Amino acid sequence: MLFNSIHFAIFLPIVFTLYWFVTNKNLNLQNILLLISSYFFYACWDWRFLFLLVFSTSLDYFTGIKIYDATTKRNKLFWLWLSICINLGFLGVFKYYNFFAESFTQGLHLLGINANLGSIKVILPVGISFYTFHGLSYVLDLYKNKIKPERNFVNYSVFVSFFPLLVAGPIERATHLLPQIVKKREFNYYTAVDGLRQILWGLFKKMVIADNCAIYANMIFNNQADYSGSTLVLGALFFTFQIYCDFSGYSDIAIGTARLLGIELLRNFAFPYFSRDIAEFWRRWHISLSSWFRDYLYIPLGGSRGGTWMKVRNTFIIFIVSGFWHGANWTFIVWGALNALYFLPLLLTDRNRIHLQTVAQGRLIPNLKELLAMIVTFSLTVLAWIFFRSQNLEHAINYISGIFSSNLFSMPYFLGIKESAITVGFIIFLLIVEWIGREQQYAIKIASHWDKPLQWLFYYLIAMIIFLFGSPSQEFIYFQF
């Protein structure tokens, strides 16, 4: 079920009504309703993979209790590694088996050995990377004695499968979400209105910008040999805004939907394209995943505490694993490694935490240094996104080579370029609104401080743009991860 579909527009009001007007006096009934709703939401994709979700949930629920009740470190480690190995085993089979099999076969061919491990035809279960990481964070936090096990299976299952975040995050922590699930929730009108406002902005980013950018990005990337360098730059820019508005739009809708139900999810985006260096970018992009890898991989490996070699090693590990998490393709690995190269100079010169505050905080206009830093960081990000979007490494290299050709400074042209001007106009509108609202949790929250008539005029304008220019029922990019 898509957030941007008529089905969800029917589903959410029904859940909301039952949640606050039928089950609101009984927390257990509320959580049962959330669990049934979440499983129905997931089953709308493919009911067969619902069994995998239930198995993964049961595994971590059971091993979590065993970890906590174990009397020796050896037993704790046994149950921890049982959970990790089975969870990553399922992820490996469904998501990575064919990649490893094909890469190994190609490696043997280079050595003159003819072999074929074969591939398996499997459908990637939607959301498997997200709910697997929910469960892993739970058992890891139990092992570290950060939390106590949740012995109510329904409560724990809601934590793993809460429908707003089930298929594309944010990646929640048990320390943050479980306490909200196990306590009574009271309806708050202002929180609910704020949630609706965030949903509206998420739909605008997804349906108006991301889905329209996708049309032109796909056209240019799929036929890159036919276009000039300037057109290829335009294609890369279209994808840059497509992936940002698609994923941050999903996160806005997910967070806003959860707020309607009295639950606060982790923030996932904080205006990353206004970053002044790559370190700041990664503190603002896909925050829940970046912080997950930091806490459960980077810091246990030693983080930045060791010598230069350890810093370099850990940086490359964290970025390459992050790239590989996104998909079984060398393009994602190179994308991760390229971001590691961007990040290393900042880390080695101890300048990776100099931009912790919002750019031009308290000012409308950035100074020249800030502006140049944002342009450089954005340009490096666009270059890296080319690898992320490309079908394979050869495609990415050819695309970049095509950019740096003799016709780089010619006028861009592709079929439909005149129509794309409308989308470009909406991108400019997005940048203006997000710049003005960059110190808020999400951009149009700034409108809540305006006079009521101006507020409603602004919201109706966005709603009308969605209605007139939105592309309905297009899947979100991160469903494939």
Q: How far is CA 450 from CA 79, 95, 287, in A?
A: 54, 47, 29
State the alpha helices, DSSP H only, in 47-162.
Answer: 50-69, 73-91, 97-110, 128-143, 153-161
Q: Residue 447 is which amino acid?
A: A
Other residues' Cβ atoms within 10 Å of the Cβ of residue 234:
21
Can you tell me the distance from the alpha carbon of 140 to that of 64, in angstroms, rounded to the nearest whole number?
A: 9
∠453-459-465 over CA atoms, to 5°? Answer: 135
Token pair for residue 411?
């006028």
State the catalytic residue, choosing from 109, 134, 286, 326: 326
Q: Examine the residue annotation and report whether 326 is marked as an active-site residue of this protein.
A: yes
Q: Which two tokens stand for residue 274?
A: 């206004």
User: How many Å apart are CA 339 and CA 408, to the nearest integer?
Assistant: 25
SS3 content of the chain, % helix, strand, coil (to 5): 70, 0, 30
The angle at the Cα of 348, spanning 346 to 351, to the nearest 5 degrees, equals: 40
The residue length of the chain stands at 481
Which residue, among 143, 148, 142, 157, has the nearest Cα to 59 in the 3D structure?
157
Q: Which pair of tokens denotes residue 358?
A: 């919002």
**Which ranges of 207-329 would DSSP assign to H, the alpha helix?**
211-221, 229-260, 278-284, 287-293, 308-326
What is d(CA 257, CA 446) in angstroms, rounded to the nearest whole number?
19
CB 143 within 8 A of CB 65: no
357 backbone φψ class: left, alpha, beta (φ>0; ψ -120 to 50): beta
Residue 176: which H helix or E strand, with range? Answer: helix 174-181
Rounded to 5 degrees, φ, ψ at 410 are: -80, 170
Q: Catalytic amino acids?
A: 326
